[in-house]
Structure 1
Amino acid sequence: MHKLPKAWSLMALDQLVHADKPIVYGIVQAGPEYPGGTPYIKSSDLGGKIEPEFLSRTSPEIAAQYSRSIVRPGDIVFSLRGNIGELSIVPGPLHEANLTQGTARISVNGRAFNEFVAHTLKSPFLQKRIATVGKGSTFKEISLEELRKLEVPIPPLPEQVKIAEILRSWDEAIDKTHLLRVAKERRYKALARKLFDPCHPTFQSRPNGWREWELGDVFRERIQSGEENDRLLSITMSGGVIDRESVGRKDTSTDDKSNYKLILPGDIGYNTMRMWQGVAGLSNLRGIISPAYTVVTPIQSRILGRYAAHLFKSRRMVFDFERYSQGLTSDTWNLKFPAFSKIKVFLPRVEDQERQANLLDALSVEISVIGRYVETLTRQKRGLMQKLLSGEWRVQRDEAVA
């Protein structure tokens, strides 16, 4: 972090809390769930907005033994263990609650504004510091002593408030965009369910004109090697068929790729060992993929690749992929083409498949665009935090200046 402006100072966190409300952790053993009891906040409750109705509850007797760690609206709750560094501000509707041994209360005094301190604790430079002082290899935790002496850059109070307002506006934009993406995803799932549930043999009252097929009647397995200059591709749950290099994936395969499989635009590739999770995608690329994948080519007069790509993500198809997978445990389950080919499915006419695929493709594009926008906003906010919370950029009235 660069040199602080003259009006700023570095202060230990325990200098920023009320003397009668020091930084402490909470209940050591909360006991069994106690309906109607005192709510308490765990590490897993942190990182976003605290939802009072979803908090666990302990008995009034246990809570009374830890009155020192009561939290009220405006207090910051910080995770000491596991998801170390995650935090949330206690919301107004939660009038009173307690903590666990894995969380700490930070109740700021008049020197600091709670939102500013919360943002600063989430800033890249302080998160790096928190990770450094945390102990443990597999299970990280930070002690109260280390947390209390953690140094925070503090500007004058009016500047803290203004910085918090600016960052709050970014949070609101990110939250609204995220909610829009969630709404689009729900719409996609509802539409996919409506369109694809009739494909399953157990569905009753499907539309006229549908025909039952085995997947082996509408797909052919591609067993073909690629050429020396074919690019190496991969298949992911969310991204489908991708170029390994374009996403920074290191090629850990052997130099001999003679047994790698060719996949062409229009083919569908799936992970033979993870098809029961729906790991499949329609390829827009030519390349080679690992022998761990299976490549199938749709017979266009019976099933469209774009339609099948959505169908293969539907809940009932994924259930059948799991049911037909072979192996003793989920670690060894596999769905090779002979088993894949026996799965039965009802399909509408190709013209109807095309209309349905167009609808689902359009929604998928919208979801992807909104998702990239959320990522952009989040990245921009992170850069803004680096500048504002270190004093590199100062705020004057309604704007930030360098």
Structure 2
Amino acid sequence: MLDGWKRRSLADLLDFRNGMNFTQSSQGERVKVIGVGDFKDKEVLNDFSETPSITLNGKVNPDDLLKNDDLLFVRSNGNKALIGRCVLVSGITEPVSFSGFTIRGRVKSDEIDHSFASKLVRSPLFKEHLHRMGGGSSINNLSQDTLSEFCFSLPPLPEQRKIAEILRTWDEAIEKLEALRAAKLRRHRALTHSLVFGSRQLDRFRTTDEVTGHRWFTLPASWDAKPIGKLAREIAERNGDGEQHEVLSCSKYDGFVRSLEYFKKQVFSTDLSGYKKIWRGDFGFPSNHVEEGSIGLQNLTDVGVVSPIYTVFRFAPEKVDADYAFAVLKTGLYRHIFEVRTSASVDRRGSLRWSEFSKLPFPIPALAEQRAIAEVLRTAQTDLDALNTEIEALTRQKRGLMQKLLTGEWRVSC
């Protein structure tokens, strides 16, 4: 054991209490209740202006109210990746409670600093503990026993505070980069919308200021709008020979991803003979989730396979540039169009099939202009990708630093 460090468990240092499942009433005490949706990616929760309030049948038990410096854990959620996530509560000026899907931890010992405790339960050490308790996989529910049994080496208070201060500096650097990324992403989306619908036309292609109205959007008068079915055709090529092509899935934000990498486990059938082939340059979407924006351009492999529920289609390259088409189909407007048309679909399962999808209008500038638009957006995306790489590198470095500081491999001078 390192000099001055002690072996402790969370049970030695924190008291735990499960949240309550409150019953709404027409009269009684009004209280704000933090739920899992309030956690997001935050480490500190100090703004309760948007936290929902409920009226209780009677008065709230004081033990069910949060105090500043409490830790709040996600106990249960449909998304297993969220279970065990923790926020440090501060800035409370009014009654705030916590839902039945959470567990509150409250420091009961003067051996531990609350900021250090917050860093500790967000560290790889704590995640490894949860992984072990889950038998090598994500746990289904977090219990007070699981929290209590987390054992670790605890440095003296001055060293705890110094470690927390160092890690806070890294967090602030990452937060600034994430705020910059969010701002650049908003600008990129605005730029994409203005270019692919022609409200901001590239100078060398502008021939008139006149516009033409179409259903869903207005375009420059020099552009056309045609049904997708006039520009693309459905591809329904089955993987009948059962070849072991890479299985792909479509995400709402990134388009196509490698299934095993994305889900960290196999979620697809071992028999791929009924799956559909999707070639490089083809588009596809899960017919029952396209309203979420899950549509993609396959540019990961020469040929992959997707679930039979997917609709796969191919634009005619002499009419439509694939990168331009991807930019159009990933706009917020098209996500709205998909949602509306899915709701209006005669398919009782809430799906959007090719027969209906092919009727959707699509903006068509000249092919040269499409390619120019795609090039501008590629350049802007390169800037975003570089920022993403920087954030990922900084996050990895912080994770490694946490491991060394929290285990005492690297000591800090106080």
How far 1:172 moved relative to its partner? Answer: 1.5
Q: Confirm or deny that 1:211 pairs with 2:224.
A: yes
Number of the residue aligned with 1:87: 86
In structure 2, the CA distance between the partners of 1:34 and 1:184, relative to structure 1 (3 Å rule), is farther
Asked if 2 retains the 8 angstrom alpha-carbon contact of 1:233 and 1:241, the reply is no
Q: Confirm or deny that 1:282 pairs with 2:297.
A: yes
In structure 2, the CA distance between the partners of 1:33 and 1:121, relative to structure 1 (3 Å rule), is farther
Residue 50 of structure 2, aligned match among 49, 54, 61? 54
Counterpart of 1:206 in 2: which secondary structure?
A: strand
Greater shift, 106-115 or 72-81, is seen at: 72-81
Residue 303 of structure 1, aligned match among 310, 320, 325? 320
Counterpart of 2:362 in 1: which secondary structure?
A: strand
In structure 2, the CA distance between the partners of 1:30 and 1:129, relative to structure 1 (3 Å rule), is farther
Q: In the TM superposition, what are the counterparts of 1:2-401 in structure 2 within 5 Å?
A: 4-16=1-13, 23-25=16-18, 29=22, 31-32=24-25, 37-46=30-39, 48=42, 49-50=44-45, 51-57=47-53, 62=58, 65-82=60-77, 84-92=83-91, 94=93, 97-100=96-99, 102-130=102-130, 140-143=141-144, 147=147, 150-196=150-196, 201-203=214-216, 206-222=219-235, 231-232=245-246, 234-237=248-251, 238-241=253-256, 252-254=269-271, 260-261=276-277, 263-264=279-280, 266-284=281-299, 285-290=301-306, 292=308, 293-321=310-338, 323=341, 327-330=347-350, 333-336=351-354, 338-397=355-414
Asked if 1 retains the 8 angstrom alpha-carbon contact of 2:24 and 2:56, the reply is no
Asked if 2 retains the 8 angstrom alpha-carbon contact of 1:326 and 1:335, the reply is no
How far 1:33 moved relative to its partner? Answer: 8.9
Question: Matched residues in 2 for 1:24 and 1:310: separation?
Answer: 48
In structure 2, the CA distance between the partners of 1:387 and 1:345, relative to structure 1 (3 Å rule), is same
Asked if 1 retains the 8 angstrom alpha-carbon contact of 2:232 and 2:316, the reply is yes
How far 1:202 moved relative to its partner? Answer: 2.0
How far 1:171 moved relative to its partner? Answer: 1.5
TM-score (norm 2): 0.75
In structure 2, the CA distance between the partners of 1:234 and 1:45, relative to structure 1 (3 Å rule), is closer
Question: Matched residues in 1 for 2:304 and 2:57: separation?
Answer: 64
Amino acid at match of 1:57: S
Counterpart of 2:219 in 1: which secondary structure?
A: coil
Counterpart of 1:360 in 2: which secondary structure?
A: helix
Question: Matched residues in 1 for 2:285 and 2:53: separation?
Answer: 45
Counterpart of 2:271 in 1: which secondary structure?
A: coil
How far 1:319 moved relative to its partner? Answer: 4.1
Question: Matched residues in 1 for 2:236 and 2:223: separation?
Answer: 30
Question: Matched residues in 2 for 1:33 and 1:89: separation?
Answer: 32
**Cα deviation 1:226-282 (Å, max 9, x = unaligned):** 99999535242244345667767757453758x853624x44344455444443333
Amino acid at match of 1:214: P
Greater shift, 75-84 or 307-316, is seen at: 75-84
Greater shift, 174-183 or 152-161, is seen at: 174-183
Q: Which blocks of at least 5 consecutive residues in structure 1 are unaligned?
A: 398-402
In structure 2, the CA distance between the partners of 1:355 and 1:87, relative to structure 1 (3 Å rule), is same
Question: Matched residues in 2 for 1:44 and 1:340: separation?
Answer: 33
Number of the residue aligned with 1:400: none
Question: Matched residues in 2 for 1:118 and 1:373: separation?
Answer: 25
Amino acid at match of 2:227: E
Number of the residue aligned with 2:205: none
TM-score (norm 1): 0.77
Q: Identity across aligned pairs (percent)?
A: 25
Question: Matched residues in 2 for 1:253 and 1:149: separation?
Answer: 38
Q: CA RMSD in A?
A: 4.0
How far 1:23 moved relative to its partner? Answer: 4.4
Q: Which blocks of at least 5 consecutive residues in structure 2 are unaligned?
A: 199-211
How far 1:90 moved relative to its partner? Answer: 1.9
In structure 2, the CA distance between the partners of 1:200 and 1:177, relative to structure 1 (3 Å rule), is farther
Asked if 2 retains the 8 angstrom alpha-carbon contact of 1:34 and 1:57, the reply is no
Asked if 2 retains the 8 angstrom alpha-carbon contact of 1:10 and 1:153, the reply is yes
Counterpart of 2:119 in 1: which secondary structure?
A: helix
Question: Matched residues in 2 for 1:174 and 1:326: separation?
Answer: 47
Asked if 2 retains the 8 angstrom alpha-carbon contact of 1:36 and 1:57, the reply is no
Asked if 1 retains the 8 angstrom alpha-carbon contact of 2:131 and 2:139, the reply is no
**Cα deviation 1:147-202 (Å, max 9, x = unaligned):** 45654421111110111112112221222222222222222332333345579832
How far 1:35 moved relative to its partner? Answer: 11
Asked if 2 retains the 8 angstrom alpha-carbon contact of 1:80 and 1:104, the reply is no
In structure 2, the CA distance between the partners of 1:92 and 1:291, relative to structure 1 (3 Å rule), is closer
